């Protein structure tokens, strides 16, 4: 019983520390500035690591991000605990969780290989949104990405489409959209996940991302 309570306390402590690290950035968000990006990724995925190093980090730096933190959620299990808890608290459904995820301040969530033009528009243009998630989870030859404003369903756009298309649609329809139910991200039971784990494992061979994201 004591060990369970200690484990629970440790998890809560990690989440509090992470959220407190974002607290000083609220004023910066109001001013249209972004300071910190936290990347949860799998070091074992060579393609992801290469993309993060050669494309993602340079893009974030170009957009003016002051601090970039990388957290390997495979070799450091505590990072996986934090990532899972963040997904749960934000009610991010499994289908919108990328094989690696970037949290930028408390406002932008990027899943997978999001197009550079989308990232730059979100971080450098004067666009109005409270919080947004963008997912593009294909390793190569991507044809589309998904955008979600934490209400209603995610919408799919061609890979070259501007994010302003979704933001305009969201603004016009926000009043009619509903927020996800609490613990939406934990609604998948093991019986639902097992076939996906098995099939994705066979389809992707030894690709570690197929298992890491699950």
pLDDT score, position 15? 57
| pLDDT higher than 80, residue 211 | no
Of 75, 81, 73, 117, which Cα lies nearest the Cα of 99? 73
- pLDDT, one tens digit per residue, over 49-84 is 999 999 999 999 999 999 999 999 999 999 999 999
pLDDT score, position 64? 95
pLDDT score, position 6? 57
What one-character DSSP code corresponds to residue 169?
H
- Domain ranges for the chain, please list them: 2-212
Q: Is 186 left (phi over 0), alpha (psi -120 to 50) or beta?
A: alpha
Of the two residues 195 and 123, the one the predictor is more confident about is 123
Helix boundaries (H) for 36-99 = 46-51, 57-62, 77-89
| Block residue for tokens 């369970």 | 4
pLDDT score, position 93? 95
| pLDDT higher than 60, residue 214 | no
The residues, any chain, with a CB within 8 Å of residue 163's CB and separated by 6 or more, are 118, 121, 122, 127, 132, 134, 147, 157
Cross-strand bridge partners of residue 69:
38
For the record, the structure tokens of 77 come out as 């299990």
What's the chain's average pLDDT? Answer: 81
pLDDT score, position 193? 42
- pLDDT, one tens digit per residue, over 94-148 is 999 999 999 999 899 999 999 999 999 999 999 999 999 999 999 889 999 999 9
| pLDDT higher than 90, residue 159 | yes
What span, in angstroms and rounded, lies between the C-alpha atoms of 127 and 107? 12
For the record, the structure tokens of 89 come out as 């608290």
Tally Cβ neighbours within 10 Å of residue 163. Answer: 23
The residues, any chain, with a CB within 8 Å of residue 156's CB and separated by 6 or more, are 144, 145, 146
What span, in angstroms and rounded, lies between the C-alpha atoms of 200 and 170? 32
- What integer is the mean pLDDT of 8-15? 57
| pLDDT higher than 90, residue 18 | no
């Amino acid at each position: 019983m004591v060990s369970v309570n200690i484990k629970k306390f440790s998890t809560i402590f990690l989440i509090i520390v992470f959220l407190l690290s974002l607290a000083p950035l609220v004023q910066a968000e109001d001013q249209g500035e972004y300071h910190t990006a936290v990347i949860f990724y799998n070091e074992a995925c060579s393609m992801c690591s290469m993309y993060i190093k050669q494309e993602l980090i340079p893009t974030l730096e170009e957009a003016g991000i002051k601090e970039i933190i990388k957290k390997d959620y495979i070799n450091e299990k505590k990072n996986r605990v934090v990532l899972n808890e963040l997904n749960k608290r934000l009610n991010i459904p499994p289908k919108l969780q990328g094989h690696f995820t970037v949290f930028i301040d408390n406002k932008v969530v990027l899943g997978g290989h999001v197009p550079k033009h989308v990232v730059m528009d979100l971080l450098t243009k004067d666009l109005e949104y409270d919080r947004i998630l963008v997912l593009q989870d294909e390793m190569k030859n991507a044809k589309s990405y998904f955008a979600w404003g934490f209400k209603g369903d995610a919408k799919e756009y061609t890979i070259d489409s501007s994010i302003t298309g979704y933001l305009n649609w969201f603004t016009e329809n926000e009043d009619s959209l509903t927020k996800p139910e609490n613990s939406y991200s934990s609604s998948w039971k093991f019986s639902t996940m097992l076939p996906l784990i098995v099939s994705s494992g066979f389809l992707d061979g030894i690709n570690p991302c197929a298992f890491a994201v699950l």
